[in-house]
Amino acid sequence: MIGGGQLARMMVPPAIHLGLRISVLAEGEGMSAARAADAVGDYRDPDTVYAFAETVDVITFDHEHVPGEILREVERRGTPVHPRPDALQFAQDKILMREKLGELGVPIPDWAAVSDESELQTFIDAHGGRAVVKTARGGYDGKGVRVVSDSGEVRDWFAALDEDGNGGRLLVEELVDFTRELSQLVARRPSGETRTWPVVETIQRDGVCAEVLAPAPVADPATLDEAARIGIVVADGVAVTGVLAVEMFETRDGRVLVNELAMRPHNSGHFSIEGSVTSQFEQHLRAVADLPLGATDMTAPAAVMVNVLGGPEEGPMPVRYARVLAEFPGAKVHSYDKLPRPGRKVGHVTVTGADLDTVRAEAVAAARAFD
């Protein structure tokens, strides 16, 4: 596993259960998965990655940032990489992703790749005077996304592209009038076997995922089928191996448009640790090891996951940990063992049960009790 964040950390228990030995190349000693790490080093340094790859049978990731050329060389030297670099590029670069989704005939927002302010202004003017601008690479949790009505509002981003000197472009999209955001998780093995989980609703606050409702409540059966269909078209179309999250917008007129792809376990799938027969973390390992995939049925009618974010106060999450466990014995609390900076994801809480509203109220209350 390259990357030592919470996703790598949550991969460790299922690896033990499956009898797979997991090695983590963490970015630093203080990383969430560092206690499970066998190595610490920079994933952008080719020799560090090659040396790590020699110690394992197969490589996978907890983030999408390892440069493609390093991964191609790892493959050439004989260690399989999943997802393969040819698939991963579509999660690394939002312009490539939009091009590919267009080719696959998947519904997406209207978009363009623009290289200067005048091209951007033309798009804004043609789309009702507002648009969403995104950096093609390196964005996460809404960093690298701006809603603009004037092209001058991203002058700094164009300037940064010029400094890079590789003639980069920004992605611009229509501002979608969505009623909610959905996420479809899919797992795919190298042999092509796929499994989908029920589509979930994701609720973002300040660009960060706050809550996940599984399955997405009051969904039209046609929407559920369409989300699963799109998930499989994308998984097969990019030949992903491992878990793929397809983030979508549901529009007022009942359409589903794809926003984003993530090729790894995803925040929208944390509910599956308790809420599914096979969690996304176990499934990712099965897929990467090319083992048969597990059932993805829900273990209860409803599961709700609420993220715990670091607040203004310093001090580790465990300060209030015991109190939350005492007050909410039905909640499953996950700590990422990270220092709580304001807004940083430091853990999550999941509650499962028969009734979505009851489950949600308990999960929200348990997560808030950390404040």
Closest Cα partner for 42 from 55, 57, 25? 25
Specify the residue, 105 or 207, whose C-beta has the smaller distance to ligand ADP: 207
Q: How far is the CB of 167 from ligand ADP (least distance, A)?
A: 22
Q: How far is the CB of 204 from ligand ADP (least distance, A)?
A: 5
In DSSP notation, 106-155 reads -----EEEESSHHHHHHHHHHTTT-EEEEESSS-BTTBTEEEESSGGGGH
Specify the residue, 27 or 173, whose C-beta has the smaller distance to ligand ADP: 173
Cβ atoms of 26 and 5 closer than 8 Å: no
CA distance 171 to 168: 10
Specify the residue, 141 or 153, whose C-beta has the smaller distance to ligand ADP: 141
Q: How far is the CB of 224 from ligand ADP (least distance, A)?
A: 20
In DSSP notation, 41-74 reads --TTSHHHHHHHHTT-S-B-BSSS-S-HHHHHHH
Q: How far is the CB of 177 from ligand ADP (least distance, A)?
A: 8
Specify the residue, 36 or 132, whose C-beta has the smaller distance to ligand ADP: 132
CA distance 46 to 50: 6
Instruction: Provide the binding-site residues for ligand ADP, judged by CB under 6 A.
Output: 109, 132, 134, 139-145, 173, 175-176, 181, 204, 207, 247, 259-260
Q: Report H helices in the chain.
A: 6-18, 46-53, 68-76, 85-92, 94-103, 117-126, 155-164, 221-237, 272-275, 280-288, 318-327, 356-368
Q: How far is the CB of 273 from ligand ADP (least distance, A)?
A: 22
End-to-end, the C-alpha distance of the chain in Å comes to 32
- Around Cβ 52, how many Cβ atoms within 10 Å? 21
Provide the β-strand partners of residue 307. 348
Closest Cα partner for 344 from 230, 209, 243? 209
Q: How far is the CB of 156 from ligand ADP (least distance, A)?
A: 17
Q: How far is the CB of 126 from ligand ADP (least distance, A)?
A: 15
Specify the residue, 209 or 317, whose C-beta has the smaller distance to ligand ADP: 209
Which two structure tokens, joined as six digits, stand for 38? 């066998």
Specify the residue, 174 or 362, whose C-beta has the smaller distance to ligand ADP: 174
Specify the residue, 11 or 171, whose C-beta has the smaller distance to ligand ADP: 171
